[in-house]
Amino acid sequence: MTDFYSAGGQFFRGNLHTHSTLSDGVLEPAEVIRRYRDEGYDFISLTEHMVGRYDYPIADTRALRGNGFTTILGAELHSGAQENGAIWHILAVGLPLDFEPPNAPDFKAREDQETGPEIAARAMAAGAHVSIAHPQWSGLTQDDARSITSAHAVEAYNHGCAAGCDRPEGFHTLEQLLGEGRRLDIVATDDAHFNEPDHFGGWVMVKAAENDPDALLEALKRGDHYSTQGPEIRNIVITETEIVVECSSVVAICVQAAGNLAKAVHGLSMTRGALPLAQFSASPYIRVSVIDAAGRRAWSNPIWLDD
């Protein structure tokens, strides 16, 4: 039997993708942090657009920590052209303040820039948790996504992209990469700018020993987290015969695997569900989604069955 949420510590609620007046958000950093703290979050990363237009910011939010709330330094990195000609967006949480900025005066891709894969690799080497940002919004091709070999996760749900243009997802990109053997996790974020209802809609629940930036960052890199719009995934246990999911009250518990392998159980106010493991034997991984009565979802990271 394998119990995937048995690690010590507790879950902390956080948003990994946020903007303020240091780039193209409309609220000052202190006000962004106040709102997330008062909404019940435990941490955020203020990830400003690292372009010359905004003087290449890495928001130093250390002075805004306190009262049970903390921050992880980070940025949204831009460099190089995707296949559609648009500049890359790479989410890097846990960057050092002295991270060397890219050659990105604005949001236009240029021939003399690092490529997207290169800046992602440099961010990971600097200690950051790296995610492929909003694939649907960006218009990423699968070759684009495949080229980013230095990443921990795919931003599979972006609430700002849901509110602003109904292009919130990265699940197709994620599933294709998983099918090729890439071991990537899932993050849900807000990408909040506070100029529309783009906040408090998607977040990560990170299991760590304490609400400390270093502890949270290491837990993110280990994959000790799930993503949600509200429902809780309290435990996933895999026995020799079953996948057992414990959660807050939901109406559906789904298990997805490679290709078109998927199965769900449905009910009213379910807090536990079990599905046979054997039907997923052809897949190297599974992942779990739960859906509550309001249609809000939570998503586990992929679980690799050969581990």
Q: How far is CA 188 from CA 102, 268, 297, in A?
A: 25, 25, 10
Report d(CA 191, CA 135) in Å as an integer. 13
Rounded-to-integer distance, Cα 264 and Cα 252, Å: 7
d(CA 100, CA 30): 25
At the topology level of CATH, where does 9-226 sit? TIM Barrel (3.20.20)
Q: What average pLDDT score do residues 77-85 get?
A: 98
Domain limits of the chain?
Answer: 9-226, 233-304
Nearest to 144 by CA among 129, 134, 157, 156: 134
Integer Cα distance of 146 and 168 in angstroms: 20
pLDDT digits (tens, 9 = 90+) for 100-111: 999 999 999 999
* 3-class DSSP state of 165: helix
Cα Dmax for the chain: 57
Q: 213: number of CA atoms within 13 Å, CB side?
A: 20
> 235-275 pLDDT, tens per residue?
999 999 999 999 999 999 999 999 999 999 999 999 999 99
- For 233-304, give the CATH class: mainly beta
- The token duo for 31 is 């006000």
The full DSSP string for 58-108 is ----GGG-BTTBEE--EEEE--SB-TTSPBP-EEEES--TTPPPPS-SSSS
Q: Mean pLDDT over residues 86-104, rounded?
A: 98
The per-residue pLDDT for range 12-41, each reduced to its tens digit, is 999 999 999 999 999 999 999 999 999 999
CA distance 20 to 27: 5
Q: Name beta bridge partners: 263.
A: 255
The pTM assigned to this predicted structure is: 0.96
Sign of CA dihedral 183, 180, 91, 157: negative
